[in-house]
Amino acid sequence: MLRDFFLGTIKIHILHHAKEEPIYGAFMMEELESHGYTVSPGTLYPTLNALHEEGLLEKYEQTVQGKVRKYYTITEKGAEVLEEGKRQIIELANEVLEEGDS
Q: Which amino acid is located at 87 in the chain?
A: R
- For residue 2, what pLDDT is reported? 62
Domain boundaries along the sequence of the chain = 2-97
6: pLDDT confidence band, cut at 50, 70 and 90?
A: confident
For residue 33, report the phi and psi dihedrals to the nearest 5 degrees: -65, -35
What sign for the dihedral angle of Cα 91, 93, 13, 41?
negative
Tell me the pLDDT tens digit for each residue of 62-88.
Answer: 999 999 999 999 999 999 999 999 999
Q: Give the global pTM.
A: 0.86
- Architecture, CATH, for domain 2-97: Orthogonal Bundle (1.10)
